[in-house]
Chains A and B, each alone.
Chain A
Amino acid sequence: MKRIHLLPALWALILVATALNSGVLYAQVVESHYVRVMAPQFLRVNNLGSALQKIALRQPDWLLVYGSSEIVDEVLGYTAPEVFRTFPTGFAPYEIAQGGENSLVLAQEVAALGPDLRGKKVVISFTPSMFFEPMIYSGTYAGLFVPLRANELAFSTQLSYATKQEAARRMLQYPKTLEKEPLLRFALERLDSDSPLDRVLYYAVWPVGKLWTLVLELQDQWQALTFLWARPELQQPAPHVLAAIDWQALEAKAEQEQEAHANNNPFGFDNTIWVAHYQNPAPDSDPFGYDQTAITNLQQTLEWTDLDILLRTLKEMGAQPLIMSRPFNAMYWEARGVTAQDRQAYYDRLSQLVASYGMPLVDFRDHETDKYFNTDAASHTSRKGWVYVDKAMDQFFHGTLR
């Protein structure tokens, strides 16, 4: 009787597997077409899955840029997607960012790219304010948590057991995100433990985890496909116009504009931001008002552990990343009693950590006293600051970054 069922079940499996595989191939063809022709822009779907990022990685003229609010903040005329809109030097940034993105979330995001990441250049962007709290808020982490990416990391074949273990220990500190993910939680708990039995159990559950990750990948493909179907305007081919960028002229213009937009306060913050967040500060409720506590947190925060996990992940995945931080606004921090020595501790620690992985770092520390580099105390990038960021991306892409 059992044998009677075996052959039909096998046929059904083969038919479904063939259909799904054809569907994925079709989705990839559609996605490739969109990604190849579209202009640089934010696609919300990138924050929920990885399908389009994998496609963008395979295109020679996209540079993947991961970051947080310093990337997604208001359009200023000088952001990378604007400056590189027509691929003037042969590439454009493919930005994947949302406010509050942090190293632990980014580690899962890059782990989800899988073998496609090997040998590819990516930019990891953040500001010192990522380190201003003892650890990432559970609400922020939960809002950025994507089960697909977490599963990709937990069941990755590219990452070492030790790296997955470090990541698991941090991911388990946000138990709410795992309430609906029993398999993932089980795997992370096994990784968390040092006992040989738990190691055996992790490997025992690994095939099931891989299978479930495959299901999530299929869901991701479906999500990307339906998103693109609803956006036919993305198929309008973006013009590619090769042209040299006059960085000096662009910087002068940006500085002039920034100066005109930042003349109601002594720190060079954007006028609107100054009025909204600093002019009449409400220290208990305003997230942009920082003091010495932020610097104390900066020395002890678990974000350093998370950044280490992110760098390890990038290294083991074979990526070629550029780590890009931003400078403090020295005038603001001095007024708050934070010394140059305090700030230097951030740059030193960051440099040491990144150097230990042999990765290039740009932190723009020389611009600390540049009044018009940031728009606020959280080191969000101004018009002028963006010109430097754009230039660094351009040099990194073309291998001329020193």
Chain B
Amino acid sequence: MIKQWTNFFTELYANPWVRTVALTLYYLAILAGLILMYGKGDFSAPSFIYQAF
């Protein structure tokens, strides 16, 4: 069963179009992950000491 699936995906991946789309999605996932990690930013200010002006 596993071998059948492996063969199916190997054949599918041999198709240049499928390979291009799969890799594009792979890189998109990486970039999306980076955006999620760094997109929000940290806008919290440290404690503030007022200098009377």
> Which A residues contact B (CB, under 8 angstroms)?
4-5, 7-9, 11-13, 15-16, 20, 48-49, 68-70, 99-100, 102, 126-127, 129-130, 132-133, 136-137, 139-140, 142-145, 215-216, 218-220, 222-223, 287-288, 378
Contact A100/B40 with A8-B24, A15-B28 known, Cβ cut-off 8 Å:
no
Nearest CB of A to B52, in Å: 4
B5 contacts partner chain A, Cβ-Cβ < 8 Å = no
Closest-by-CB residue of B relative to A290 is B52
List residues 23-53 of chain B with CB under 8 A from any CB of chain A: 23-24, 26-28, 30-32, 35, 38-41, 43, 45-53
Beyond known contacts A49-B43, A139-B48: 5 more, CB 8 A cutoff: A4-B23, A7-B23, A137-B51, A139-B47, A220-B41
Q: Are B53 and A222 in contact (CB under 8 A)?
A: no
Q: Are B49 and A139 in contact (CB under 8 A)?
A: yes
Contact A378/B53 with A7-B20, A8-B23, A143-B48 known, Cβ cut-off 8 Å:
yes
> Which B residues contact A (CB, under 8 angstroms)?
19-24, 26-28, 30-32, 35, 38-41, 43, 45-53
With a cutoff of 8 Å between Cβ atoms, the chain A residues found around residue B41 in the complex are: 216, 219-220, 222-223
With a cutoff of 8 Å between Cβ atoms, the chain A residues found around residue B23 in the complex are: 4-5, 7-9
Nearest CB of B to A120, in Å: 25
The 8 closest A-B pairs by CB, nearest first: A143-B48, A139-B49, A219-B41, A8-B23, A12-B27, A287-B52, A129-B53, A8-B24
With a cutoff of 8 Å between Cβ atoms, the chain A residues found around residue B49 in the complex are: 100, 137, 139-140, 143
Q: Are B53 and A127 in contact (CB under 8 A)?
A: yes
Q: Are A218 and B47 in contact (CB under 8 A)?
A: no
With a cutoff of 8 Å between Cβ atoms, the chain B residues found around residue A49 in the complex are: 43
With a cutoff of 8 Å between Cβ atoms, the chain A residues found around residue B45 in the complex are: 48, 143-145
With a cutoff of 8 Å between Cβ atoms, the chain B residues found around residue A11 in the complex are: 20, 24, 27
In the assembled complex, 18 residue pairs joining A and B whose CB atoms fall closer than 8 Å, in A order, are A7-B23, A8-B20, A8-B26, A11-B24, A15-B24, A20-B35, A69-B52, A99-B53, A102-B51, A129-B53, A130-B53, A139-B49, A140-B49, A140-B50, A143-B47, A145-B45, A219-B43, A220-B41
